[in-house]
Amino acid sequence: MLISENIDTAAAAAELKKRIRDKTARVGVLGLGYVGLPLAVEFARAGFDVTGFDVQQSKVDCFNSGHSYIKDVKDGVFEPLVRSGKLRATTDFSAIRDLDTIDICVPTPLRKTKDPDMSYVVSATDAIAEYIHPGLLVMLESTTYPGTTDELLLPKLAGKGLEVGKDFFLCFSPERVDPGNPKYQTSNIPKVVGGITPTCTEIGALFYSQALEKVVPVSSTRVAEMVKLLENTFRMINIGLVNELALMCSRMNIDVWEVIDAAATKPFGFMPFYPGPGLGGHCIPIDPFYLSWKSKEAGIEARFIELAGYINGRMPEFVVEKIQNALNDATKAVRGSHIHVLGVAYKKDIDDVRESPALDIMLLLERLGAVVTFSDPYVRRIQTSAGYLEAQDMYSSVAEADCVVVVTDHSAVDYTSVVERSKLILDTRNALKGFRSPNIVRL
Ligand code: SAJ
């Protein structure tokens, strides 16, 4: 039964809080990816009736079959919730009219011009605006620039004359999901939430506290939006710093890995980051540019972000330069050489190749006339500009290659065999830390 059917909107907040407390609130999650699906599961596990929404029928069908396509959510947990009827998915967005809460968990990528692509957020908001009713709590979780919730979502949702903080409630709460993290999952990662009004914040915090271990209310949606950008910009800039340090150490013939390990013995005031072949993934290379885009609009040049982005973006070229020099020392040219890339995922022990620097490195090598192969325990094939490239057998490839490049330091790789079989190895991840061999070159 909709809140608006039997009480005036002034009491909408009280009724919604009651439904959240007694877990009769009907919960919605829009976008069933690595953020939305685990979130839907946590609220279903907490005892709420949960409806997931997605535009992909295949995802909805898989979801309703009780099979979790998100590795961090095991079928043993997921299937019983679906079977019990507490958890379902649909492509029919009109079901929003029967909900008390809805969380937006859709992608916020960058366009080629490094401008934010808000198209997913806009279409999700338009869908909610069509079915919005008094008493609805709307939460945006997608990482975005400060001002998105109040400038972009609020006017659309208030379009039918409903008053925010009285008739409906609007918050921002940054997603902090770290896929594959064995220790921190949706339920035990502290949840920051900020509302358009204090009542919105109060209701948003009450909502999350029903299913998550720790909730951190903040004073506004903009603070909450900026929190996430600080977290990921902090990482991106510090990675840029150590990558620049790697460039310096390479020229000064200093082992950058030894420097960082020794610096990390400092018990305070230092946090180790490590150089690598470049920045991959769908968060760190992207989120900071949401901040720099918005700060430009505010008249401030985000120079740290731009500079770190430049340095991180140059690392694939630096890796190829190291390969060229290493082959040169073996009196070989890149052109015609067989170069085997070991690991193409954007970070260790996962199968995600989005924005992976391995793809840039392979493209640069192919342009120089190298014969490039790859192997990765988690990736069978990748899409390149020339089509699909299938993974090759690691053992035979590293034995045949003129140069092996460790781009992703997966734990599952038998590095002893790699070192024994390879003529020449460039290690961009310090994966061969324990090995001393003349055929190993480090970043
Ligand atoms: N990287 C380095 N050096 C480092 C750390 C990372 O080169 O010292 C590279 C990685 O190889 C990768 C890229 O940076 O290519 C991003 O790595 P990441 O460890 O930041 O992993 P992500 O992209 O999965 O980031 C996510 C983020 N989580 C969310 O946005 C919710 C980030 O905030 C987390 O801190 C991070 O996971 C994590 O700690 O695993």
Q: What is the pLDDT of residues 250-302, one digit of tens each?
A: 999 999 999 999 999 999 999 999 999 999 998 999 999 999 999 999 999 99
Residue 325, φ and ψ in degrees, nearest 5: -65, -40
> Has residue 115 got a pLDDT over 60?
yes
Which range (62-71, 115-124, 377-386) has the least confidence? 377-386
The verdict on the CB of residue 231 being under 6 Å from ligand 1 is yes
Task: Grade residue 112 by pLDDT with cuts at 50, 70 and 90.
Answer: confident
Which range (6-15, 85-94, 410-419) has the least confidence? 6-15
The Å distance, Cα 335 to ligand 1 centre, comes to 33
Report the percent of the chain where pLDDT is more than 90: 91
As a whole number of angstroms, the distance between CA 261 and CA 136 comes to: 51
H helix runs in 12-116, sequence order: 12-21, 36-45, 57-64, 75-84
Could you tell me which of 360, 298, 299, 285 has the C-alpha nearest to residue 109? 285
Could you tell me which of 8, 350, 338, 371 has the C-alpha nearest to residue 179? 350
Q: Which residue owns the Cα nearest ligand 1 atom 14? A: 279
What does DSSP say about strands 191-195 and 169-172: parallel, antiparallel, or unpaired? antiparallel
Token pair, residue 255, equals 């082992």
Which range (196-205, 215-224, 344-353, 421-430) has the least confidence? 344-353
The verdict on the CB of residue 346 being under 6 Å from ligand 1 is yes
Helix axes 357-367, 303-329, angle to 10 degrees: 50
Helix (H, G, I), strand (E, B) or coil at 292: helix
Could you tell me which of 334, 357, 322, 325 has the C-alpha nearest to residue 427? 322
The DSSP secondary structure of 169-201, one letter per residue, reads EEEE------TT-SS--GGGS-EEEEESSHHHH
Count CB neighbours of 144 within 10 A: 24
| Amino acid residing at 296 | K
Whether 216 contacts 54, CB under 8 Å: no
Q: CA torsion 408→411→413→416, rounded to 10°?
A: 110
The Å distance, Cα 51 to ligand 1 centre, comes to 30
Token pair, residue 43, equals 């609220």
Q: Which residues form the catalytic set? A: 283
Q: What is the mean pLDDT of the chain?
A: 95
pLDDT digits (tens, 9 = 90+) for 138-167: 999 999 999 999 999 999 999 889 999 999
As a whole number of angstroms, the distance between CA 174 and CA 228 comes to: 6
Could you tell me which of 132, 189, 194 has the C-alpha nearest to residue 158? 132
The verdict on the CB of residue 174 being under 6 Å from ligand 1 is no
Atom in ligand 1 nearest the alpha carbon of residue 355? 15
Count CB neighbours of 210 within 10 A: 18
The Å distance, Cα 284 to ligand 1 centre, comes to 6
> Has residue 196 got a pLDDT over 70?
yes
Report the percent of the chain where pLDDT is more than 70: 98
Q: What is the pLDDT of residue 5?
A: 46
Could you tell me which of 186, 174, 225 has the C-alpha nearest to residue 70? 186
Could you tell me which of 421, 407, 250 has the C-alpha nearest to residue 325? 250
Domains of the chain from N-terminus onward: 9-219 (3.40.50.720), 234-442 (3.40.50.720)
Token pair, residue 311, equals 């340095």
